Amino acid sequence: MSAAEKNAPPVALITGAAGGLGRALVAAFLEAGYRVAAGWHERPFPDDGPGNGGENLRAVRLDVTDPVSVARAVAEVEAAWDGVTALVNNAGILRDAPLWRMSVADWDAVLAVHLRGIFHCVRAVAPGMQRRGGGHIINVGSHVGLQGARGQANYAAAKAGVAGLTQSLAREWGAADIRVNAVLPGVLPTALTAGRSAAQQAAWRRANALGRTGEVAEVARFVAFLAGLRHVSGQVFALDSRPLRPW
């Protein structure tokens, strides 16, 4: 690594950047001094098209389910900014239904985004991190992956896989100084929860010891802070006030 590369600002690649949490993550990493590659798929980031923002923000089209798209996006970021320092696997979808009514397509779609998408992204960025002496991979998980939820068997299976994948990758890449952690954001006011009933929202609040759900900006700040830690890997961080129960 050249002296110029060592002195350059770190680079964060954030998937699912056009969503509610994604936008907050972009803002938090920019505030923390990163150059940010905002990965978007169906909805551009910003809404009026890629390429807007200051010199430290670059929108890249990225379909996490497509290894060719992932490789192309990572190559674009590496060509522009010499590599990815932090990868935040944030892309997500929901296809909820009781298992007996869930289609194979909806099962596959959720696992493709939440689990196989991380596989593709990590495989694309890890070699570059290794060449440059390390990096940090942060995977967005969910309490549902630890405790399950009615009507979300696909999502629960995917997020349980994220926790196991995180800890496996931490062991595999630790010798290369690549840290791998997961965060469980809790219930946030984003498009994924906006359609839930008042009764469901109240149930979520009751499940929290503080009697309230979280804030997108607070979660994003934590992720940006975590990305800068050098001695933490293989951990799963719960970011609300529900007592965390292991499997």
Mean pLDDT for 222-237 is: 97
Looking at every residue in the chain, the average pLDDT score rounds to 89
Mean pLDDT for 61-86 is: 96
3-state secondary structure of 80: helix
Residue 201 has pLDDT above 80, yes or no: no
What is the DSSP pairing of strand 178-184 with strand 86-89?
unpaired
Residue with the larger pLDDT of the pair 219 and 3: 219
Position 149 confidence tier, pLDDT thresholds 50, 70, 90: confident
Q: DSSP secondary structure string, 5-42?
A: HHHSPPEEEETTTTSHHHHHHHHHHHHTT-EEEEEESS
Residue 50, amino acid: P
Q: Which domains does the chain have, with CATH numbers?
A: 3-188+217-234 (3.40.50.720)
Report yes or no on whether pTM surpasses 0.85. Answer: yes
Q: Phi/psi zone of residue 81: left (φ > 0), alpha (ψ -120 to 50 degrees), beta? A: alpha
- Among 128-132, 140-144, 197-201, name the one with the lowest average pLDDT: 197-201
Contact 173, 226 (CB under 8 A): no
Give bridge partners of residue 135 from the DSSP assignment: 178
Give catalytic residue positions.
155
Tokens of 93: 């979808």
Residue with the larger pLDDT of the pair 118 and 4: 118
Strands across the sheet with 11-14, in order?
A: 57-61, 35-40, 11-14, 86-89, 135-140, 178-184, 236-238
Residue with the larger pLDDT of the pair 57 and 242: 57
Residue 243 is predicted with a pLDDT of 78
Residue 53 has pLDDT above 70, yes or no: no
Query: Cα separation of 229 and 179, whole Å?
Result: 9
Residue 187 is predicted with a pLDDT of 74
Residue 15 has pLDDT above 70, yes or no: yes
Residue 135 has pLDDT above 60, yes or no: yes
Residue 2 is predicted with a pLDDT of 53
Tokens of 72: 């192309």
What does the pLDDT look like over 100-121, one tens digit per residue? 999 999 999 999 999 999 999 9
Contact 23, 47 (CB under 8 A): no
Residue 50 is predicted with a pLDDT of 45
Position 47 confidence tier, pLDDT thresholds 50, 70, 90: low
* Sequence-ordered list of residues with C-beta below 8 angstroms from that of 6, at least 6 positions apart, any chain: none
Maximum pairwise Cα distance, the chain: 58
Query: Cα separation of 149 and 144, whole Å?
Result: 6
